[in-house]
Structure 1
Amino acid sequence: MGIRKAAKGVSEFLIETVGEVVGEAILSLLACALLAGLAAVAYLSWTFSPRLTIAAAGLASLFLAHGAWRSYRAPAKGRGRGLAAVTTAGFTLVAGTALFLLVYGTGCDCL
C-alpha cells in the first residue's frame, strides 16, 4: 500500500511540474510575440509617417493619463461616465499588458 501511494504522489508531482513548465513556456512565447508585434507596429508606423507616429503617441499618452487620473480619483456625482469608463478600461488594459511583459517578457531572447 505504501508503494502505490508514493508512486501516485510522484506521478502527481511530475504532472504538475510538467504542466507548470509548459505553461511558463507558452506565456513566455506569448510575451515574445506581443513584444515583437509592438516593435513591428512602432517600426512600420515610423516608416510610414514619423509625424503621425508622434501625434498618435501623444494622443495615446493623453488617453492613458486621463484613464490613470480617473482611476485614482473619486467619481463625480451626477456626471456621465462614458469617456471616463473608456479611458479607465484602456489604462487598466495597458497597465496589465505592461505588467505581463515585465514578468514574462524580460527573459525574451528572441529580439
Structure 2
Amino acid sequence: MGVRRVAKGVGDFLVDTAGEAVADAVLSALACALLGGLALIAYLSWSFSPRLTIAGAGLISLFLAHGAWKTFRTSASGLRRGLAVLTTAGFALAASTAVFLLLYTPGCGCL
C-alpha cells in the first residue's frame, strides 16, 4: 500500500506542476496579446489623429481620476450613484488590468 500511495502522490504532484506551467504559459500569452492590442490601438489612433488621441487620453485620465477619487474617498453614506458607479468600475478594471500586465508581461518574449 505504501508504494501505491507514494506513486499516486508523485503522479498528483506532476499533474499539478504541469497544470501550473500550462496556466502560466496561457496567462503570459494572454498578457502579451493584450499588451500588443493596446499598443496597436495607440498606434492606429495616433496615426489617425494625434490631436484626438491626446484629447481622448485626457478624457480617459479624467474618467479614471474621478473613479479613483470616488473609490478612495470616504463618503458619509457609502452609496455611489450614476457616474460614480461607472467611473469606479472603470478605475477598478484599469487597475486590475495594470496589475495583470505587471505580473505576467515580464515573462513574455514580446518585450
TM-score exceeds 0.5: yes
- Aligned residue pairs total 110
Other structure's SS at 1:106 match: helix
Change in 2 beyond 3 A, CA 1:7/1:80:
closer
2:109 corresponds in structure 1 to 109
1:27 corresponds in structure 2 to 27
Change in 2 beyond 3 A, CA 1:76/1:86:
farther
1:92 corresponds in structure 2 to 92
1:3 corresponds in structure 2 to 3
TM-score w.r.t. length of structure 2: 0.94
Other structure's SS at 1:101 match: helix
1:59 corresponds in structure 2 to 59
Change in 2 beyond 3 A, CA 1:82/1:76:
farther
Give the AA of the match of 2:22: V
Structure 2 segments unaligned to the other structure (5+ residues)? none
Cα root mean square deviation, aligned: 1.4
**Aligned-pair CA distance for 1:57:** 0.1
Structure 1: 4+ residue segments shifted above 4 A: none
TM-score w.r.t. length of structure 1: 0.94
**Aligned-pair CA distance for 1:35:** 0.2
